[in-house]
């Protein structure tokens, strides 16, 4: 087996419109609809599928609950620009910038929460 990359992952959410706003407007992802009524946030060659609580698509996580995810997204922007953009959109930075280790080496990270309280690390390799 030769795993090459992540294609998509699923977030259990409470309010599709809040998630569309956050991932689309704040994080700049493309909001797409597929299979007639499924919604996802697309960025690069990946996407995040949304499952509203109580309407999960089978098969799904064993215990799908909102706010249980913790993941890292990479930006090609500077930490200063990321902080300014988040502040301008009313998003509170929980931690950062802090130095971390990404899959390709040293990164600087800022931690925020989405509307469902998932922890999102936004990182940059551009110091």
Q: Is 121 a catalytic residue?
A: yes
Q: Which of 30, 52, 80, 121 is catalytic?
A: 121
Gap between the Cα atoms of 52 and 6, Å rounded: 22
Report the sign of the C-alpha dihedral through residues 65, 117, 27, 16, in that order. positive
> Which residues, other chains included, contact 33 with Cβ-Cβ below 8 Å and sequence gap of 6+?
39
Q: Indicate which residues carry an active-site annotation.
A: 121
């Amino acid at each position: 087996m030769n795993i090459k990359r992540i294609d998509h992952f699923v977030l259990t959410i409470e309010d599709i419109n809040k998630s569309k706003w956050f991932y689309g407007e704040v994080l700049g992802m493309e909001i797409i609809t597929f299979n007639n009524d499924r919604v996802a946030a697309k960025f690069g060659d990946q996407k995040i599928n949304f499952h509203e609580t109580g309407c999960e698509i089978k098969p799904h996580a064993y215990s799908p609950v909102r706010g249980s995810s913790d993941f890292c997204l990479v930006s090609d922007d500077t930490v200063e620009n990321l902080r300014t953009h988040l502040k301008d959109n009313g998003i509170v930075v929980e931690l950062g910038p802090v130095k971390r280790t990404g899959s390709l080496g040293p990164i600087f990270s800022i931690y925020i929460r989405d509307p469902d309280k998932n922890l999102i690390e936004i990182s940059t390799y551009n110091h």
